[in-house]
Structure 1
Amino acid sequence: MHNNIDIGTKTADILLSLDATNPGIYVLLSNIYAEARRWDAVDHIRGLMRRWGLKKKTPGNSLIEVGKQLHVFFAGDSHPNSDEINQILENVKSELEASGYVLDTSCVLRDVDEAMKIKSLWRRSERLAIAFRLPCTPEGSLIRIIKNLRVCNDCHTVTKYISMVVKREIIVRDANRFHHFVDGKCSCNDYW
């Protein structure tokens, strides 16, 4: 959507003048600059946020219910079951790659090396939630996740592959819509 827009300093100033205390505007600008790989501009915007003492209101997270208990996962989260979750992700990862899944690091909006981008993607909240849920439920049972942000392109793709490899229906309610993943396909037909 904004991939072809060149956000210059003047445009950024206009956006910030709309509400300089709204952290969402800074995050939006930072993400636009990050997609354009303009890391100097990203650093500048994040510096402005720090100077004003602004933070994202709600970090990205995924909620999942097991039994009557709600579990919340944040990207890179440390969980009491982290070792088990990481092992499940490692096991599933090799099956996904064997099925044709190719990681897309373009949605990592940070100026880090490729290895860190890969690690970051595998520690996204929806992946952690899925890996936590798999051993807690009978094979073939439905997995439901509520995500407070829009699912990124790579997480959408990997969830399609996970549904196919582990033979589970996965429903993800993100900030825009419901996604119903079954046998490697999504109800949104890859338009979200």
Structure 2
Amino acid sequence: MAVWQRAEDRAGAPQPPPFWASPWAGGQALARTVLDRPGLVAGRRVVDVACGSGLVAVAAALAGAGDVRALDVDPAAVAAARWSAALNGVHVEVLLADALADAGPTGPLGGAEVVLVGDLFYERSTALRLLPVLRRLREGGADVLVGDPGRAHLPRAAFDEVARHDVPVVGGLEDRAVRSTAVLRPWAQPRDGAGGSGGR
């Protein structure tokens, strides 16, 4: 909230929420899993969708990914992710891009062998756009991993759990100090009762 207030004070006008300024639980769990199990990304082409500050992308690079691309629609997030990569001494290609608007083979997700998605099922409209894209990527042979702390619009039955972490969260952002957060892999094809977005 303090970052948001300072941004609005400096701009002299309302600004979008700085989602990139917080280490969201889903991203933390995903980054921890990649660092604990580097074989998930080592030597592979990795794309971090809605990268925020670049936490997950940096973890993938530190874990030995062959090539890391980070995408976000917020120019401030792109700047933050570039700074984060530089501070951690890793190379990450950070792009201002909407992966869901251009999810074809020539778009920013093209060529990805691993797609990492941290905490994006917080809003129904985003979830409805996201799930079909993740399924298409899985059908195309990419490994897709989603970090999620139980957001309302993740259709849990459409995923298998890969890992789980108890994640400390920033005060004021969540309804508790620690969230049990899953790292999930979507099924390439819907199963009965798992076709859409909804609660758990």
Which range, TM-score by smaller chain? 0.3 to 0.5
Q: Choose between structure 1 and 2 for higher RCO, CA contacts under 8 A separated by at least 6 residues.
A: 2
TM-score (norm. length: structure 1): 0.33
Q: Which of the pair is proportionally richer in strand?
A: 2
TM-score (norm. length: structure 2): 0.32
Q: Which of the pair is proportionally richer in helix?
A: 1
* The structure with more radius of gyration: 1
